[in-house]
Amino acid sequence: MKRVIKYMATALLTVSLSACSDFLNKEYDTSMSEDQVFKNKDNTRGFLANIYTNLPDGFSGYTNGQFLGASRDCMTDNAISFWSVHYYHGVLTDSYSAVNHPLLTPWSDSMVGIRKANQFMKNARPSVIGNTEKDGDDNRLYDRNIAEARLLRAIFHMTVVGWFGDAPIIGEDESGEPIVFDLSNPGQMNMERTPAPEALKWIADQCDLVKADLPFRYSNETENWGRVNGAVAYALKARALLYRASKLHNGSNNAQYWREAAEAARDFFTANNRCSNPYRLYATGDTSNDYYECFVTNPVYNDEFILCRSLWSTWDIDLFLAPCGFSGTINSTGRVNPTQNLVDCYETINGLPIDKDATYDPQNPYRNRDPRLSQTILHHGAMWGDRDQEEYRAVDVSYPDGVDYQELHGGTLTGYYTKKFLNNISYKNPSVPNHAWPIFRFGEVLLNAAEAINEAEGPDAAYQYINELRARAGMPAYSGMTQAELRERIRNERRIELCFEDHRFFDERRWMIFADQNVNSEKSLPLYQQCYNLYGVTVTNANNPSYEYGPAQMHASRAFNAPKNYFFPLPDDEVKRAPNLKQNPGWELTNTSGSEAE
């Protein structure tokens, strides 16, 4: 009997997901047998393109506005979701079990992606794809396609480690064949997981295996935009080794881990500098707008984006971000509310934390701040709206009657809305903007380098990487710091630069920032150093505003139980089928009746 190719389909509800390249737009018939797929070049290419659908995508939740329509930073100290039934609230309150946890798709999506990558590597044929030496991107095409599948498989393993810690390494068997489990035999998956530090090293090694077969950057990005390339391999290796060196996975602070992470980050820049069209920060010289524009400009022509998860052509994302008072043909709901904790992270224009600069005025709080604040967060008095349609006005979050404060389906619990990724469309006559989710971007690699090099070698070698980001924003360069001082500023810079890009959840945990404080002990710290208590601002008197800072209206404090909350649980049914996987510490492994297992 012929085996039939199977994969998990993803439902795209009200939005359109597309890709710029012909390759990624290739349709694939999932009813075909393996023989039908891999004896035909177009079908084989379609199968490879389909693997990309399993890449992580921070915008995918916006297809489910009722339960997921907000940034995943709403599971961190960066933001709170206004919508009370969003699943993110249960993470902040630690109210899920391994049986009812609704946010475990990174496991299933990654496992399906790994299986598809291994199917491709095992069955693709050079005689069908072709593997001749030629100029351009298609040189030794079979070798390049196999390298793509291997690198995608490494990304899926990285996703598993990030969310779940120790990971099953599903690579090659003892004979060197890619492992493809028989779906009719779930017992094959009954394997022990590899400890996270070892899994991260395996991921880094997989990156090394593909560098020779992938162009660092495609020469024809109109056709190949959205495909993994050599730059992705360098960036993934740098991220994986940084995570391995971090406290969560490196309790003894092994210095060699930091040296390897630093070397991997430097290797990216060495290779990038050799490229005829290198990646770089998006910078036109306008420090008041470049950071914002980076995330709303056409991503195909954005040299900062190394890998994106295709394009979303939709206004739904904008509706869930914009202040609730903007309405017309379409109506905004504004459900991603940045915390005062995050707002207070932004330094003064003098390059100082707000509690260390006498010029900071809490009653004029947004004056003379890091320009990225006004490019990332909409606050009271911020100007927003389409000028051509006469919608341009000041945001009004004043209590209780401000037009942008709260209404039935949207509003703010903190006094803030999210501007990052928000296109300034008209609500009377709306256009449909494009959104691209950055899986890897140049700004992150700079931060990875700064952190690893500071730990491995000290501040003097690390300044250049963080200062390049600060220069784009018009902020003063750092200098003259101790290693500990620069460590604190790098972490703060990372929080600001990468907010709402699915980094904060992992950074909070790999740095183990919860370990030395609790809800009560941290209250004496500045708000930007608190992670258990979440804050907002109440604005009264819209025209002559008064600002009162206090607990957020929802989740004034969050729960974090160690070791449980460092990772999500494995899906309970997976552990039942494959008990050798073992459940993560702190998550009960239950029997079929839902009671605790013996």
Write down the pLDDT at residue 8: 33
226 three-class SS:
coil
Domain 16-66+103-269 classified CATH 1.10.3720.10?
A: no
Write down the pLDDT at residue 27: 56
Residue 484: Cβ-neighbour burial (10 angstroms; 0-12, 13-18, 19+): exposed
Residue identified by tokens 């009004």 is: 396
For residues 555 and 534, give the distance between their C-alpha atoms in angstroms, rounded to a whole number: 7
- Parallel, antiparallel, or unpaired: how do β-strands 434-435 and 311-313 relate? antiparallel
Query: Domain-by-domain residue ranges, the chain?
Result: 16-66+103-269, 67-102+315-431+515-567
The DSSP string of 404-421 is TTB-SS-B-SSS-EE-TT
Residue 440's beta-bridge partner residues?
307
Write down the pLDDT at residue 21: 55
Under 8 Å between Cβ of 549 and 525: no
For residues 141 and 152, give the distance between their C-alpha atoms in angstroms, rounded to a whole number: 16
Write down the pLDDT at residue 597: 43
Residue identified by tokens 């393996």 is: 34
pTM for this structure?
0.94
Of 347, 348, 316, 352, residue with least CA distance to 332: 316
Residues with Cβ within 8 Å of residue 119, at least 6 apart in sequence:
5, 34, 47, 178, 180
Under 8 Å between Cβ of 63 and 37: no
DSSP designation for 16: E
Write down the pLDDT at residue 29: 66
Write down the pLDDT at residue 589: 62
Structure tokens at 452: 């690893």
Under 8 Å between Cβ of 157 and 110: yes
Give, for 434, the enclosing helix (H) or strand (E): strand 434-435
Residue identified by tokens 């070791």 is: 563
Residue 77: Cβ-neighbour burial (10 angstroms; 0-12, 13-18, 19+): buried
Cβ count near 452 (within 10 Å): 28
Cβ count near 587 (within 10 Å): 21
Q: Please report, for residues 318, 437, 590, the alpha-carbon distance to residue 59 in angstroms, rounded to integers and kept in the order given.
A: 11, 7, 32
For residues 434 and 584, give the distance between their C-alpha atoms in angstroms, rounded to a whole number: 38
Q: List b or e across 487-520, with b for residues whose CB sees 16 or more CB atoms inside 10 angstroms.
A: bebbbbbbbbbbbbbbbbbbbbbbbebbeebeee
Under 8 Å between Cβ of 418 and 338: yes
Cβ count near 249 (within 10 Å): 19
Write down the pLDDT at residue 7: 37
Each residue's pLDDT tens digit in the chain (598 positions)? Answer: 333 443 333 332 234 445 445 556 555 666 788 889 999 999 999 999 999 999 999 999 999 999 999 999 999 999 999 999 999 999 999 999 999 999 999 999 999 999 999 999 999 999 999 999 999 999 999 999 999 999 999 999 999 999 999 999 999 999 999 999 887 776 788 999 999 999 999 999 999 999 999 999 999 988 999 999 999 999 999 999 999 999 999 999 999 999 999 999 999 999 999 999 999 999 999 999 999 999 999 888 899 999 999 788 999 999 999 999 999 999 999 999 999 999 999 999 999 999 999 999 999 999 999 999 999 999 999 999 999 999 999 999 999 999 999 999 999 999 999 999 999 999 999 999 999 999 999 999 999 999 999 999 999 999 999 999 999 999 999 999 999 999 999 999 999 999 999 999 999 999 999 998 999 999 999 999 999 999 999 999 999 999 999 999 999 999 999 999 999 999 999 999 999 999 999 997 644 434 444 3
341 three-class SS:
helix
Length of the chain: 598
Measure the N-to-C terminal CA separation of the chain; round to a whole number of Å: 42
Residues with Cβ within 8 Å of residue 58, at least 6 apart in sequence:
71, 72, 437, 500, 501, 502
Amino acid letter for position 474: G
Residues with Cβ within 8 Å of residue 334, at least 6 apart in sequence:
82, 320, 321, 322, 323, 324, 404, 410, 411, 412, 417
